[in-house]
Amino acid sequence: MNRSPHSTIYQSVDPYTQTKVHFTPTQSIKEVQLVIDQLDQEFQKWSKLSITDRLTQLSQVLKELSLTIDTQAAIISTEMGKPITAAKGEIEKCLTLLDYYGPNSEVLLTPETYGDTERVIYQPMGVILGIQPWNYPIWQVFRFAIPTLIAGNTVIIRHAPNVSLSAKSIQSLFDNANLPILKCIFSDNADTETIIQNPKIKGLAFTGSTHTGSLIASLAGKHIKPCVMELGGMDPFIVLSDAKMPDTAIAAASARCTNSGQVCTNAKRFIVHESLVDTFIKEYLKATEALIAGDPMDPKTTYGPLARKDIYDSVIKQMTTSIQMGAKAHTSPIPIPDQGLFIKPTLLTNLTPDMPVVTEEVFGPVAAVIPFKTIEEAIQIANNIPYGLGASIWTESKSSAEEIIPRIDAGAVFVNRAVTSLIHLPFGGTKKSGFGRELGRWGLHNFSTIKTVVTKF
């Protein structure tokens, strides 16, 4: 099948050494359609199993994962630059999924009864498409796939092109467990609509940028397919005047620099009471001095390179453009290697509302510091963006936190804790950060047909 010069290329490049790691040929749409047909056939069998049997078989996949932690982590580190200890942590988080879903899935999918003649039942839908990102190449897939499979569906994964080896490693886990209910494909971007409109694809989940999510959601709408969109974020980190220092600044540095700033829920805008700005900057930069930048495969490394050259270039442009517009940079003193796509942790002050670091999602370790005087002003600044994924509030006053929480436009608000995904709670955003929720009972119900049953005999 002929491809245009702009066809999708499944090639991973080590962001530390800049050497090619892996190449996977792009599949034709005919090959992809055959995979969809196979998954539809498997759905007919898988959906008829009890929830207990599904959980038992899926536990074999997680057992395979637990036996190959070192191998899987090495793939993550080599493909996208995550420090090896953090990569192992990502996999370990995957292994906790059944800690929640094991004892709870049957209850959460049990029919709800209303009197003697009325009930609501949850039935699996069919083949569900997951279009997944590169920044957590194992966790993001498992976060979506495991509850979707437990609900009785089968899953087709279209992973990010720069982590094709991670996709193949996920496939091997299911193959080794003899479970043909999940398949990874390597399709061309141009074939996305054809895949989505296939009548055997019953729904889809997308995690990625707001721009791409908008395109995918429009295709889902066009073909009337339910979808979950987990998109970008510019999470506010609100520091009230009574916040503990230096603890808050230390938490802020961690919240921004985790995964080298390449997390949708990273704190990206630090909205700090004017009385604490100088202290906050000083303590934040001091906290970053504990980071060790280096080879992601070295267990001592805690701060890796950015995953791709285009991402690195974008963050540098956002930062330099803001500085040219009048922003002041406060840069961490940590040494970084001469090789690799590293950017030092940086705070920008003296900002105006039109600067890129204020208006655009920055997917790297560069953050905005915005002072405020009153709580009203802090809330206004926090909400004055098109995103609404997460937010955190740092204060010793419970009443202040409770006043702010309902007024923040976000899918999650954490108090005195950085935003993260928790397996038993819903995860997702509002506004241009997307819609729908993953994890918790919502992860089971997203791709279940909710059927009302009323009987009269």
> Which are the catalytic amino acids?
230, 264
Nearby residues of 36 by Cβ (< 8 Å), 6 or more positions away: 127, 156, 195, 198, 200, 201
What is the CA angle 98-442-231, rounded to 5?
A: 105
Q: Are 266 and 232 in contact (CB under 8 A)?
A: no
Which amino acid is residue 116, in one-letter code?
D
Residue 125 is given by DSSP the state -
Block residue for tokens 């580190």 = 77
Record the tokens describing residue 79, joined without a space: 């493909």
Record the tokens describing residue 331, joined without a space: 């840069």
Residue 435 is given by DSSP the state E
Which amino acid is residue 279, in one-letter code?
T
What is the CA angle 113-118-122, rounded to 5?
A: 60
Block residue for tokens 């979808």 = 227
Give CA–CA dist 292/336, Å, rounded.
Answer: 8
Which amino acid is residue 372, in one-letter code?
F
Give CA–CA dist 446/439, Å, rounded.
Answer: 9
C-alpha atoms less than 13 angstroms from C-alpha of 109 in its C-beta half-sphere:
28
